[in-house]
Amino acid sequence: MDELVEHWTVLDDELELVAGKRGGTRLGFALPLKHYTRHGRFPRGRAEFPDEVVAFVARQMKVPAAEFDSYQWTGSTIEYHRTRIREHLGFRGCSAQDAEKLTA
C-alpha cells in the first residue's frame, strides 16, 4: 500500500490537469501521467498497469476502474494527453535540431 500511495497518488497540480475530463478519458490521462513521472516514459498500453494501480487511481478520479479499458491507445486524444503531460513536466519531443546537436 505504501508504494501505491507514494507513486500513484494524484497530486493537487496534477488534479488541475485532469479537470474537465470525464470517465475513461479522465482515468486515461491520470494513469499515463503517473506512469511517466515514475518511469520516465509513456506506457505502451493497458497491460503495463496492475489492476490494483488502476483501482487506486480510479478511486481518486471517482471513475469506475473498468472505464480504463475503453481508453484508446492510438489517435489524437492520447497524443494530446502526451503533449499536455510533457508540458506539465517540462519535457518536449526531440527535434531534428536537437538530434544534430547530439551528433555534433
DSSP calls for 4-46: HHHHHPPPHHHHHHHTT--HHHHHHHHHHHHHHHHHSS--SSG
Chain-centroid distance of CA 61 in Å reads: 13
What is the SS3 assignment for 56? helix
- The pLDDT score that the predictor gives to residue 29 is 97
* CA-to-CA separations, 78 to 4, 27, 82, in angstroms, rounded: 24, 12, 6
pLDDT tens by residue, the chain, 104 residues: 799 999 999 999 999 999 989 989 999 999 999 999 999 999 999 999 999 999 999 999 999 999 999 999 999 999 999 999 999 999 877 788 888 888 88
Question: Residue 96 is placed in which grid cell?
Answer: 531534428
Domain boundaries, given as residue ranges, for the chain: 2-103
- The pLDDT score that the predictor gives to residue 63 is 95
- The pLDDT score that the predictor gives to residue 45 is 94
